[in-house]
Structure 1
């Protein structure tokens, strides 16, 4: 749904910045955060008055696992979530890695090294391979030559390699919310409970930012897809990406409503706010003072016991 030219670079000096967050601040509860770098994380925590225990970042296919970033984010007991995208940049353009090539073993050396790097880091990482794989807007998503069967074969091959290397990874299967032109059902894309630890679900309220969009409440955004997921697996869930725009409605009220609705989604244990301005749409919690204040009012109250 959202272009993710978000490859993160990190220097050792950011360790100081990350350590300067609110030392005794309350947890932000069920909410995690997707950010472009640790400095943004620290700045938002100061504004929000709470600490995000769950942090997500993106990584493309030809990049080594960033152990330094993982170490820094694991401070204060943070959990680490990685959206691992099978794509790379070639001559200034994004190129998708075909699932069938992964399934055929053509990338085994890279996958093996990635698993070994995570193991060497010593921290458990949750990985969402090919997030929003059911979409039709990204270079690694479904086509007539990049099928659901290829996806499942690729997923299982990757997991087997990580098992062989004994890398501490939790596997999160993360489709986009249902939409009318999807090329595959959830059931056709699901690798099976034996290969998945957790279910993710990405969804956004686009408001009226596009002619084809309309304002949707939190429930209108997620209800149908949540029910569909429950029909194929009983695995615990997270909202891997969620956000709302300001245009077309009341974003502050949307946030408050999300906090009221989330306890009804009994399987959802984490909800990652997409705190990024992607150049077309500003999804951050700080797009208005009212939106930030709404989050401050509700976030600690969503903590799950």
Structure 2
């Protein structure tokens, strides 16, 4: 009902976006609400065929918003399904992989799967994005092991198959970082249960004391090579962005554009168009960044 009220308030056009614009090619957009699409697409001058947004645990599949979204021909929806329950403003409780694998949430999962099936469309689902991290409510711990994660993934896959929901399963860890508690191989559910793999990675620049400016290659090279070692599945960059602080964001985007063809397994790139905890990752942080992205779309489309 919340999605339906938003659609009614903002109008279908805010959600459907620029239906007549040319496609942004391999580029998609990660947003915290689909209702920003129209405004962003007007600025970049193209239509983001593939779009990702987030759904927390115990929240129903946003069926009404999805159906409005699909009214634009060619739209592809990807959901980041996060096993965490919202308690209040920026407060969450994690849902353990063990409880998911053990069947404690089957009624919710089946209802979610049936809602996906009812759209009549294929939806990509990234379950527990950045599961290899150590900063979120559902990430690895003594009670949330890599083995538990894989069992939960397989359990979800089985239920959606039983419910005949059309889903592409996307496994998307964070890029490798120094204190990572598990290897990619230990967390990978197996090719039988995964349709696409991804990576989430950011250039934080100098927005905090423990980071420095990193190029596109410095951000993704090592992780890309490691993922290639464990699977031949097609790849995406599920969350990607750069800040302005500490370097030149426009130059970073131009460098990304120049290097992308060398990463031959990457079929899709989702720019993280969100301001998160006072860090502005959006495409529109400067005219220079926006112009660089628009030029990249022209070159890669």
| TM bucket, shorter chain | over 0.9
SS at structure 2 position matched to 1:22: coil
Partner of residue 90 from structure 1, selected from 84, 87, 92: 87
Partner of residue 78 from structure 1, selected from 75, 79, 83: 75
Q: Which residue does the alignment assign to 2:222?
A: 224
Distance 1:129 1:23, change over 3 A: closer
Give the paired residue count: 296
* Contact preservation (8 Å) 2:14, 2:39: no
Cα offset, 1:36, TM superposition = 2.7
Partner of residue 58 from structure 2, selected from 62, 67, 75: 62
Cα offset, 1:91, TM superposition = 5.7
* Cα distance in 2 between the residues matched to 1:91 and 1:49: 37
Cα offset, 1:102, TM superposition = 0.5
* Contact preservation (8 Å) 2:169, 2:196: yes
Q: Which residue does the alignment assign to 2:45?
A: 49
Report matched runs for 1:140-219 at 5 Å: 140-219=138-217
Is residue 271 of structure 2 the alignment partner of residue 273 of structure 1? Answer: yes
SS at structure 1 position matched to 2:274: coil
Distance 1:282 1:109, change over 3 A: same
What is the RMSD computed on CA atoms of the aligned residues?
1.5
Q: Deviations over 1:194-239 (max 9, x none)?
A: 0000001100000011111010000110010000000000000000
Q: Deviations over 1:20-79 (max 9, x none)?
A: x43432211111001233332111111111111100000000100011111122222110
SS at structure 2 position matched to 1:56: strand
Distance 1:225 1:168, change over 3 A: same
Q: Which residue does the alignment assign to 1:10?
A: 6
Distance 1:119 1:217, change over 3 A: same
* Contact preservation (8 Å) 1:55, 1:73: no
* Cα distance in 1 between the residues matched to 2:262 and 2:46: 23
* Cα distance in 2 between the residues matched to 1:10 and 1:238: 30
* Cα distance in 1 between the residues matched to 2:174 and 2:93: 20
Runs of 5+ consecutive residues of structure 1 not aligned to the other structure: 1-6
Moved more, 10-19 or 195-204: 10-19
Distance 1:37 1:89, change over 3 A: closer
Is residue 125 of structure 2 the alignment partner of residue 127 of structure 1? Answer: yes
TM-score, normalised to structure 1, is 0.94
Runs of 5+ consecutive residues of structure 2 not aligned to the other structure: none
* Cα distance in 2 between the residues matched to 1:157 and 1:35: 28
Q: Deviations over 1:228-280 (max 9, x none)?
A: 00000000000000000000000001011111111111111110000011132
* Contact preservation (8 Å) 2:117, 2:166: yes
Q: Which residue does the alignment assign to 2:243?
A: 245
Moved more, 225-234 or 42-51: 42-51
Is residue 30 of structure 2 the alignment partner of residue 34 of structure 1? Answer: yes
